[in-house]
Amino acid sequence: MKFVEEVVVEEFLPTFRSMLAEALRERGLTQHEVAEALGISQSAVSKYAHGDVSRREEVLDDERVGDLVERVADGLATGDMSRVQALVEAEVLVRRLEEGDLLARLHEEAMPELADYDGYVRIHDPESGLRTSEQVRSSLRRALRRLTNASGFAGLIPNVGSNLVECLPEAAGVDDVAGVPGRIFDVKGRATVPADPEFGVSEHVAGVLLSAREAGSDARAALNVRYDSGIVADLEAAGYDAVEFDPDAPTDPIRESIAERGPESLSATFVCYQTGGYGIEPITYVLGPDADAVVTAVKTLLER
């Protein structure tokens, strides 16, 4: 794990300071004056002058960095610019370079995982999409750990496999829903999760969740398990409302059934189920405000 601030300190700052020290020396400042202007030791200035500090080519070649070095060097050398202003100018450029620019690319080089996202975002931004996406995936990991550690869950997995999904707050499509790639399967009596949660990998259970949300539900997570009347009855006995739908209905059966029931009348975690049809396996879906709440509901079936 490498922070973008580390990239600034390790990759950008040594090169920027060496360029600025060189520019100030060219303007006639002594080594002592350069050290005072930059707030560093004279030995550090000496290292810069003798090329003892490695410099990043990408920073050296960036015209904006070069322009700022020249402008700051002129200002500090003439006294027209204070050290505070010089710092502010440098900070402004650093923030610009962090946002999908030079420092973002260097950060992606150090953390290749960041390249998996559609465009780099400032990961220290509390409102960033990256932060929210990772929170959803983290929620799924915790819930999956609870689920797969629960004795007997494998017996609830239908023939088509199970999937546990959770969506972003403003989910608009399958790509906004994270789930288990390849689904959860019963392998010799053990629930097996083949891979880490990803977005856009579940069409079926994600589609059920999105349909429920289109009907007005606030649910953000869902899990499918096998159907039998006892499972639905046990969930209802535990306080979870249940809605039946017809999988052969011509329109979106889940959306229509929930809308007809009235989403505001349903418990926060609730059940949708269908009893099967021609070529359709009967399935029970548990939906709730997050993956943990869904797993809590399913675990009541294992404590019967």
* Amino acid occupying residue 39: G
Token pair of 161 as six digits? 């496999």
What are the CB-based long-range contacts (under 8 Å, 24+) for 46-53?
Answer: 48/17, 48/18, 48/21, 48/22, 49/21, 49/22, 49/25, 53/14, 53/18
Q: Tens-digit pLDDT profile for the chain (304 aa)?
A: 888 888 889 989 999 999 999 999 999 999 999 999 888 888 888 888 777 888 899 999 999 999 999 999 999 998 888 888 889 999 999 988 988 789 888 888 888 877 665 545 555 555 667 778 888 999 999 999 999 999 999 999 999 999 999 999 999 999 999 999 999 999 989 999 999 999 999 999 999 999 999 999 999 999 999 999 999 999 999 999 999 999 988 889 999 999 999 999 999 999 999 999 888 999 999 999 999 999 999 999 988 6
Write out the H or E segment, with its range, that includes residue 178: strand 177-179
Half-sphere exposure (Cβ direction) of 176: Cα atoms closer than 13 Å = 13
CA distance 13 to 105: 16
What are the CB-based long-range contacts (under 8 Å, 24+) for 115-120?
Answer: none
Distance between terminal CA atoms of the chain? 43
Position of tokens 């994270």? 178
Q: List Cβ neighbours of 237 (8 Å cut-off, separation of 6 or more).
A: none
At 1 the pLDDT is: 80
At 45 the pLDDT is: 87
CA distance 133 to 130: 5
The closest alpha carbon to 295, from 275, 265, 269, 273, belongs to: 269
At 117 the pLDDT is: 58
Give CA torsion, residues 54, 59, 63, 66, to 10 deg: -50
Residue 125, number of CB atoms within 10 A of its CB: 12
Position of tokens 């931004």? 125
